[in-house]
Amino acid sequence: MSSKLASDLDNPDFTGAVNPDSRLAVIFYKRPMPNEFESNKQGRPIFYDADFVKIMIPGDKDSIIDTFAREDHKKKFPQHWAHYQNQQAGDSREIGTPLAQWPRLTPSQVEELRALKFFTVEAVANASDAQLQKIGMAAGMSPYAFRDHAVRFLKVAEGDSAAQEAEERTKQLEAEKQALVDQMATEKAETERKFAELQAQIQALLPKPKRKYAKKEAA
55 and 130 share one domain: no
**Last residue of a domain, which of 35, 70, 95?**
95
> What is the SS3 assignment for 187?
helix
pTM value is 0.42
Whole-number Å distance between alpha carbons of 174 and 125: 38
For position 1, what pLDDT does the model report? Answer: 37
Residue 82 in any domain: the answer is yes
Residue 150 falls inside a structural domain: yes
- Indicate whether 7 and 87 sit together in one domain: yes
**Residue 28 lies inside a defined structural domain of this protein:** yes
Q: Do 57 and 5 have their domain in common? A: yes
Q: Within 10 A of 65 (CB to CB), how many other CB atoms are there? A: 12
Residues 76 and 13 in one domain: yes
Q: What are phi and psi of 34, to 5 degrees?
A: -70, 135
Residues 12, 60: one domain? yes
Domain range spanning residue 173? Answer: 97-199
* pLDDT of 138: 65
Per-residue pLDDT of the chain (219 residues; tens, 9 = 90+): 333 333 444 444 444 455 667 788 899 998 888 888 877 876 667 778 889 999 988 888 778 899 999 999 999 998 888 888 877 754 445 667 888 888 888 888 888 888 788 888 888 888 888 888 878 776 677 888 889 999 998 888 776 555 556 566 766 777 777 888 888 888 888 888 888 888 878 777 777 766 665 555 554
Number of domains composing the chain: 2
What integer pLDDT is reported at residue 73 of this predicted model? 93
Concatenate the DSSP letters of all residues of 125-176 into one string: HT--HHHHHHHTTTTSS-HHHHHHHHHHHHHHHHHHHHHHHHHHHHHHHHHH
Same domain, 52 and 107: no
Are residues 104 and 90 both part of a single domain? Answer: no
Instruction: Classify residue 167 by burial, with Cβ atoms within 10 Å: 0-12, 13-18, 19+.
Output: exposed
d(CA 3, CA 41): 51
In a domain, 209, yes or no: no
Residues 108 and 51 in one domain: no
Give the Cα separation of 69 and 137 in Å (integer): 35
Last-in-domain residue among 57, 77, 95: 95
42 and 128 inside one domain: no
Report the Cα–Cα distance between both ends of the chain, in Å, rounded.
128
Residues 161 and 213: their CA atoms lie apart, in Å, by: 85
DSSP state of 182: H
Q: Is residue 43 part of a domain?
A: yes
Of the candidates 95, 126, 142, which is a domain's last residue?
95
**Is 210 part of any domain?**
no
Q: Is residue 84 part of a domain?
A: yes
CB 118 within 8 A of CB 124: yes
* Contact call for residues 130 and 147 (beta carbons, < 8 A): no
Same domain for 104 and 144, yes or no, is yes
- The verdict on 101 and 27 lying in the same domain is no
Asked whether residue 178 is domain-assigned, the answer is yes
Q: Is 36 helix (H, G, I), strand (E, B) or coil?
A: helix
Alpha helices in the chain (DSSP H): 36-42, 71-76, 78-88, 107-115, 121-125, 129-135, 143-205
Amino acid at 66: D
Based on the fold, state whether residues 75 and 123 are members of the same structural domain: no
Residue 91's Cβ-side half-sphere holds a number of Cα atoms within 13 Å equal to 11
Length of the chain: 219
